[in-house]
């Protein structure tokens, strides 16, 4: 287990802490005489978790520690973090539920595509739209979190959430297009090989039958001459 993968797993462990900090509206943490509300605590947890997304990818590329487990686990950790934050924000009434349904539904759909592609031996890597979508999600969730304490940020938070919805739908279309192109080509090639194998077996069976018929005819002809 290398450090980039450990950071990815750490991001998953941040999820329950983030949800607990968001839903406990009366929760206040006292640190060195200062009272830290649940909103600021949730924001700190979310930003720390989001920063591990940038750090693990950077370290994996710099140290050449890109692994199949890390490639598959990283988007799962991202989806858990974002989905948990959005669902908790719906619970406190900061985000419309329909937006969260679209975004989380998109995450499940893309996760399903990745699983099917992995079963076919093909890994769908994050696209530029997917990376932009992640950045927009972090900015939107951070702004919405702050709008709970500062209502003047409510409108910017809504605008950013609309941007998240748009980027989510565009990146989902990009993933579906990649999936369809690669998997469809692979399925066609596999089907073509199967048809060729079936045709070859048929030809072999026909040759055997002809050989058997020729042998039987020669046997009958020989017995007639006797």
**Max avg pLDDT among 61-70, 128-137, 144-153:** 144-153
Q: How far apart are CA 201 and CA 180, in angstroms?
A: 31
Residue 33 Rama label (left phi>0; alpha psi -120 to 50; beta): left
Q: Which two tokens stand for residue 63?
A: 């140290």
Q: Which two tokens stand for residue 136?
A: 């927009």
Residues contacting 188, CB < 8 A, separation 6+: none
- Reply yes or no on whether the pLDDT at 7 is more than 90: no
Q: How far apart are CA 109 and CA 169, in angstroms?
A: 11
Q: What is the pLDDT of residues 57-112, one digit of tens each?
A: 777 778 777 777 777 788 888 888 999 999 999 988 889 999 999 999 988 888 78
Matching residue, tokens 């739209």? 129
Q: How far apart are CA 99 and CA 144, in angstroms?
A: 13
Query: Is residue 207 very low, low, confident or very high in pLDDT (cuts 50, 70, 90)?
Result: confident
The DSSP bridge partners found for residue 35 are: 30
Q: What is the pLDDT of residues 22-55, one digit of tens each?
A: 887 666 666 666 667 788 888 989 999 888 888 8
Q: How far apart are CA 183 and CA 120, in angstroms?
A: 7
- Domains of the chain by start residue, with CATH: 3-186 (1.20.120.1760)
Query: Is residue 179 very low, low, confident or very high in pLDDT (cuts 50, 70, 90)?
Result: confident
């Amino acid at each position: 287990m290398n450090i980039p993968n450990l950071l990815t797993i750490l991001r998953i462990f941040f999820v329950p802490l983030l949800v607990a900090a968001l839903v406990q509206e009366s929760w206040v943490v006292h640190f060195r005489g200062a009272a830290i509300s649940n909103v600021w605590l949730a924001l700190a947890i979310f930003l720390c978790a989001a920063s591990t997304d940038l750090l693990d990818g950077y370290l994996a590329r710099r140290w050449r520690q890109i692994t199949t487990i890390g490639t598959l686990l990283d988007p799962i950790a991202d989806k858990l973090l974002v989905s948990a934050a959005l669902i908790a924000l719906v619970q406190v009434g900061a985000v419309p539920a329909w937006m969260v349904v679209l975004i989380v539904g998109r995450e499940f759909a893309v996760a399903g595509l990745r699983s099917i592609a992995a079963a076919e031996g093909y890994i769908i890597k994050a696209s530029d739209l997917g990376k932009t979508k992640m950045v927009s999600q972090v900015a939107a969730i951070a702004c919405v979190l702050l709008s709970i304490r500062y209502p003047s940020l409510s409108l910017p938070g809504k605008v950013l959430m609309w941007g998240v919805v748009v980027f989510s739908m565009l990146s989902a279309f990009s993933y579906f297009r990649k999936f369809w192109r690669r998997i469809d080509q692979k399925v066609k090639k596999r089907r073509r090989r199967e048809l060729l194998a079936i045709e070859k077996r048929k030809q072999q069976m026909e040759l055997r039958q002809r050989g058997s018929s020729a042998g039987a005819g020669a046997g009958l002809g020989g017995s007639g001459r006797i």
